[in-house]
Amino acid sequence: MKFNSLYRITLIVWMSIKFFLQLERFRRKSKHSWDQEQWKALLKKQAKEYKEKAIRLEGLLVKLGQFLSTRADILPKVFLEEIEDLVDRVPSFPWEKAKRILEDEWASDYEDVIKNISERPIASASIGQVYRAHLLSGEEVALKIRRPSIRKIIRADFKALRIVFWLMDTFTSYGNQLDLARLYEEIRHVIEDELDFKKELKNGLHFQERYKDNQGYRIPGYFPEWSTKKVLVMEWMEGARITNLSYIDENDIDRQGLARKLLEGYLEQLLQEGYFHADPHSGNILIQHDGTIVFIDFGMVGHIEAHDALSIRKLITGIVLSQYRDVTDALEELRFLLPNSDKRQVEKAIQTLVTLFVEQDLTMMDEDTAEQVLREVQKLVNKQPIQLPSEFAFLGRAISTIVGILYTLDPEINLIEEGKPIVQEWINREESSDKRYDPTKVLRQLYARFTSFENPLERLSNELDQHRIWEETVKRKESHARSLLWNKHYSFCFLVISVIGFFVSLSLKLPDLFLATSITGGISLLLLIVSNTVEKRVWHKRRGDPNG
């Protein structure tokens, strides 16, 4: 039944509508008193229901859960925590179906190509599952086989997702905060790429070339002649998960040295190549007995484009040089800010955050002050339509995953100190092509800001006061504008009624009505002219027109 398109679409859309209604009912109930615990309980309940349906239906719901687990800008933390293990809960499909796919793709009996295959998969995921085997030529290989009918299932699920996004855009506030059309295209692009193993083959060959002369790292070899859109054949790699501390200790591998090597290898992906492994969980990074790090599974690969690299440079230098307008411009160029966002407010929020986290020694700040500042910043940001592009969402998720692995290996690692030489080399190379920036000066200023503690709390307090004053001014102006609008509305309505009454009095020769409608019509017309004049003056003042 889970393969029936109409059934899947109905189930997914109905679940979404139910979630929207539950959230709206809670908001209405909690209009005057918001119970944080009840809110979290509702989100957790919804996340559990989503996970249960995803495991039962498979397909897009599992991949969407994996995708959304990178999107803290879209879903609350409590929801994300509940679905983060979703991708590891996918049941396997039978060997008979896997064998049929192999023979269809190779147009021959599978035993003409491989032998000694394990009929039970060694790993099962939402798109495919992996088997261990030998080619007839002797090489030990891992066979990744795409799930049967997965493309058809996901195609139906995308129809459901399009309906859900339309409902969100039409009937909820999400349409004001998110570019749902773009988000839909991002999800579709990321997931459809994973369905084509030819693309994963291309990614794997790229990283193989990238690391071929880099001792201490390995990428599995690939067999393009036996790889298709549905089957990927790669070298079998022995090793344990990089977080298997018992294996590391048994083989006398230095944990601290291993952590530094992993940091160096991954930073090279992020800063030097533009391409990065977008799903570097511990199952996709192996450690061999001699300390060699093995990167596997390149179904999800991110790429930072050249024009985005320039914007990232502007972002970094803007923070370092306190040029916050450059920072907001860079965020807009990087597609973080939607067209109707208030860049001035975003700039204020960024300045406050930098002041708090870069210049202030957090150990010297009392908890209440820190919470107050963070609440103010969150209030500023939540009012703005900010959306995290998928390529940067995967970058953030990848970095977060790698950092977790690094601290597992070496809880005492100093990421700033260890990463500084690699980052410095990147800054030097990026800045050398643009003479407007002196990389040495940038680094000096960065260090100065990290060691400077010149009364930032006072400046932070002033920033918050200025924001409150600005917010009150905006509210007064908005109230005045609404008042003007209603005055115009009422004046126009009375004028229309008066004109109708005037002509009726003329037709029926009613002198009392003629007098009344003439007076009310005149007053309404006068009020309309006055309202228009006042509105015009306000508009000129806002534009800075001295003649207004």
Task: Determine the pLDDT at residue 545.
Answer: 45
Interatomic CA distance for residues 80 and 187, integer angstroms: 17
Give the residue among 88, 90, 125, 119 at the shortest CA–CA distance from 102.
Answer: 119
Contacts within 8 Å (CB) and 24+ apart, 316-323? 316/427, 316/442, 317/437, 317/442, 319/350, 319/354, 319/358, 320/442, 320/445, 320/446, 320/449, 321/442, 321/445, 322/351, 322/354
For residue 134, list its beta bridge partners. 115, 140
First to last CA, the chain: 68
Report the distance separating Cα 120 and Cα 522, nearest Å. 89
* Nearest Cα to Cα of residue 193 among 231, 156, 229: 229
Q: Is residue 428 within 8 Å of 271, Cβ to Cβ? A: no
Pairing outcome for strands 123-124 and 275-277: unpaired
φ, ψ of residue 133 in degrees (nearest 5): -155, 180
Residues of the chain with pLDDT under 50: 1, 358-367, 435-437, 439-440, 442-443, 446-460, 543-548
Q: Taking the domains of the chain in order of start, what are their residue ranges?
A: 5-91+150-193, 238-341+385-454, 466-543
In whole angstroms, what separates CA 342 from the centre of its chain? 20
For the beta carbon of residue 297, count every other beta carbon within 10 angstroms.
Answer: 24
Nearest to 211 by CA among 264, 254, 251: 264
Please state, in angstroms and rounded to a whole number, the distance separating the CA atoms of residues 67 and 516. 67
CA distance 482 to 478: 6
Scanning the structure block, which residue is given the tokens 């530094």?
Answer: 260
Read off the amino acid at residue 267.
L
Q: Which of 67, 65, 70, 53 minimizes the C-alpha distance to 2?
A: 53
Tokens of 506: 């003329």
Dihedral angle sign, alpha carbons of residues 410, 414, 416, 417: negative
How many residues in the chain? 548
The set of long-range contacts for 112-119, using a CB threshold of 8 Å and a minimum separation of 24, is 112/136, 113/226, 114/141, 114/143, 117/143, 119/95
Q: Map tokens 């977008």 to a residue.
A: 278
Distances (CA, A) of 496 to 231, 401, 502: 73, 66, 10
Using DSSP, state whether 96 is helix, strand or coil. Answer: helix
Contacts of 129 (CB under 8 A, 6+ apart): 92, 93, 98, 121, 123, 144, 145, 147
DSSP state of 59: T
> Helices 60-68 and 150-171 sit at what angle, rounded to 10 degrees?
60
Angle of CA points 319, 323, 324, to nearest 5°: 75
Instruction: Give me the pLDDT at residue 134, please.
Output: 96
